[in-house]
Chains A and B, each alone.
Chain A
Amino acid sequence: DAGVIQSPRHEVTEMGQEVTLRCKPISGHDYLFWYRQTMMRGLELLIYFNNNVPIDDSGMPEDRFSAKMPNASFSTLKIQPSEPRDSAVYFCASSRPGLQETQYFGPGTRLLVL
């Protein structure tokens, strides 16, 4: 099993640009989570999906952030327009059916907004 796959692994962009982060969950996992990690705020849950449907997006910072899951094997997190304070490591995680199962994290995308 390849595990959770995220791309890109690193992204450097300028303020105001659109950023799209991608995630492929583990096959058979029907929960998908997007997290953001910073030194100041730690690990924050942004949004999670169940069977491709967004269930809880209360952690999404503001309207500049949006997430989609068009099918069971792909999800995107988009930031438009990006700001320097969005610089962080963004993790995608997936878990098996049954919400309180183990979460398997991807390697993360390190985003730097200049």
Chain B
Amino acid sequence: GQQVMQIPQYQHVQEGEDFTTYCNSSTTLSNIQWYKQRPGGHPVFLIQLVKSGEVKKQKRLTFQFGEAKKNSSLHITATQTTDVGTYFCAGALYNFNKFYFGSGTKLNVKP
């Protein structure tokens, strides 16, 4: 079964509105990564979270790792048209040497 679940599948927002995507795992993750894929492009690494409860920021992007290390979120403040794309989380399980990608959240921003 799918190890890492991601919601929502799609999100349409007006430019300037906020956006959040969520990742959930039924098992504890050793760490989680976030990637962005522009339309027609390839996934590009954004950030990695390792510690329980960790919060990291990149300009308008805020990434959180849950206390139990089973969930994570990516929040974008005041979206811009350049934020358009699909955002993937990828969770790594302890003792498993690979990442499980979520299904992605496709973000569309209307100008």
A binds B: yes
A48→B98 contact, CB < 8 A: yes
When distances are taken between beta carbons in the complex, the residues of chain B under 8 Å from A43 are 43, 88, 101, 104
A102→B43 contact, CB < 8 A: no
Q: Does B59 contact A (CB under 8 A)?
A: no
A55→B97 contact, CB < 8 A: yes
Q: How far is the CA of A105 from the CA of B90 in the complex (A)?
A: 14
B103→A42 contact, CB < 8 A: yes
Contact A99 B104, CB 8 Å, known A43-B43, A107-B42? no
Q: How many residues of B contact A (CB 8 A)?
A: 20
3 closest A-B pairs by CB:
A105-B42, A102-B45, A42-B103
Q: Does A53 contact B (CB under 8 A)?
A: no
When distances are taken between beta carbons in the complex, the residues of chain B under 8 Å from A105 are 42-44
B104→A42 contact, CB < 8 A: yes
Q: Does A73 contact B (CB under 8 A)?
A: no
Pairs A–B under 8 Å by Cβ, sample size 24: A42-B101, A42-B104, A43-B88, A43-B104, A44-B101, A45-B98, A45-B99, A48-B98, A55-B97, A56-B97, A56-B98, A91-B42, A91-B43, A99-B98, A100-B48, A100-B92, A102-B33, A103-B90, A103-B99, A105-B42, A105-B43, A107-B41, A107-B42, A108-B42
